[in-house]
Amino acid sequence: MSAGLSLAHEPVSGVPHGKLAMWIFLASEIMFFSGFFGAFIVLRNSNLEVFSHSAAELNKWLALLNTAVLIGSSLTMALSILNLQRGNKKNFQLFLGLTIVCGFIFLIVKTIEYTSKFNHVDPVFPHGIFPWSNVFFAFYFTMTGFHALHVILGLIPMIYMLSKSFTKQGYNKPVKLETLGLYWHFVDLVWIFLFPILYLIFPSHH
Amino acid sequence: MGHHEHPSDELMIKQYIKVFTWLFIFTALTVLAAMDWVPKSWGEIGGTLHITIGLIIAFAKAAMVIYIFMHIKFDNKFLRAFIFVPIFLFCVLTFALNVLGP
């Protein structure tokens, strides 16, 4: 038996391989989103007028609702992990189910936001608001679009785990749920930054 | 900072709910900070103030999520390198470009 290959934990960090891999992936994800943030800031500084008028068109109350939904889903995810670790099946299912519901509420609100932008007609945007309408909306749709894609990709394994837990074998892999939890909290993190920079920060004085 | 052992379940749940509450309070603060409270006479400083306050609150929220929800406070310190280096770069980028912008 080869000792090196059979280790369940990475020898230096002492954490399971999957979790370590997730952290490395998340580090690369931070840089992925940093590219958008950096470009956003640079172009915002050279197009202050466009950015402030366009940002004023966004519905910050829907975004606030989505912020609350994501914060709530982070809490239920953490509680779901704790309950799976302790073998409390019912509570694990309840909190994972709530997390999934929050994910779907987020996506529904996002859909409402997008549709209202597509159907938005005024003298400045006579044909509705789309990613190609101006540089601000290019960023808005790209950044929130990639974020929503992350939400969808997080929901898939959650739904798998929850449905597996109702089968005869049940679901009993707390480390995997914990790893998925890291990813889910990261999705919340990205939104923590997207919310103020897209919806709230626009210079009212200049 | 010494190594933190995993606290009991009850304490853990209390911590989670505490963080959850603070995230809500900070979100409300972010919205309030974005309101039109800076006097017009302050000129361009107003925009910079809005951005700086908004970002400081966002970083505070991020720190709570990473420390408590993502268990960095309790996990092996080795992991911190993976998250802190890119976050440091992200902070430098965001603040430098925002605050030192035109």
Q: Domain coordinates of chain A in residue numbers?
A: 16-200
CA angle A91, A95, A101 (to 5 degrees): 145
Q: Where are the domains of chain B?
A: 9-99
| Per-residue pLDDT reduced to its tens digit, B33-79 | 888 777 777 777 777 778 788 888 998 999 999 989 988 877 777 77
Taking a contact as any Cβ pair under 8 Å apart, which residues of chain A between 20 and 39 contact chain B? 20, 23-24, 26-27, 30-31, 34, 37-38
Cα distance between residue A140 and residue A143, in whole Å: 6
| CA distances to A37, A44, A100, A110 from A69, in Å | 23, 28, 11, 12
Shortest Cα–Cα distance, B9 to chain A (Å)? 8
Q: Is B84 on the interface with A (CB under 8 A)?
A: no
Going by pLDDT thresholds of 50, 70 and 90, the confidence category of residue A96 is: very high
What mean pLDDT comes out for the span A53-77? 94
Which of B9, B90, B97 lies at the smallest CB-CB distance from A30?
B90
Of all residues in chain B, what percent are helix, strand and coil, respectively (each to 5)? Answer: 75, 0, 25
Amino acid B36: pLDDT: 77
- pTM for this model (two decimals): 0.89
Residue A182 has pLDDT above 90, yes or no: yes
Give the percent of chain B with pLDDT over 90. Answer: 27
Three-class secondary structure of residue B43 per DSSP: coil
Which ipTM score applies to this complex?
0.86
A60 versus B89: which is more confidently predicted? Answer: A60
**CATH class of residue range A16-200:** mainly alpha
Place of tokens 């959850």: B20
A15 and B38 within 8 Å at the Cβ level: the answer is no
Contact predicate A12/B78, CB 8 Å: yes
Confidence (pLDDT) at B5:
62
